[in-house]
Amino acid sequence: LSVQSTRALLCLGVWSLLGYVKDSDVKAAAVLPEVDGDEQELPDNWDAI
């Protein structure tokens, strides 16, 4: 997994525990078709606050 994917999964886990995201939301998104196209490489410090 990329760094971005790992971070997204960690956020999703926390959001789920806080009740912001429901299991049914994740299941619905998981069955959606893949989006065609290349992923853009993010620059260093893309997640800096």
Q: How confident is the model at residue 48 (pLDDT cuts 50, 70, 90)?
A: confident
- Position 18 scores a pLDDT of 94
User: Distance between CA atoms of 6 and 4, rounded to whole angstroms?
Assistant: 5
- Position 30 scores a pLDDT of 87
Contact 7, 47 (CB under 8 A): yes
Please state the domain extents for the chain.
1-28
User: Distance between CA atoms of 31 and 20, rounded to whole angstroms?
Assistant: 20
Residues 2-43: tens digit of each pLDDT: 788 888 889 989 999 999 999 898 899 889 998 887 777 888
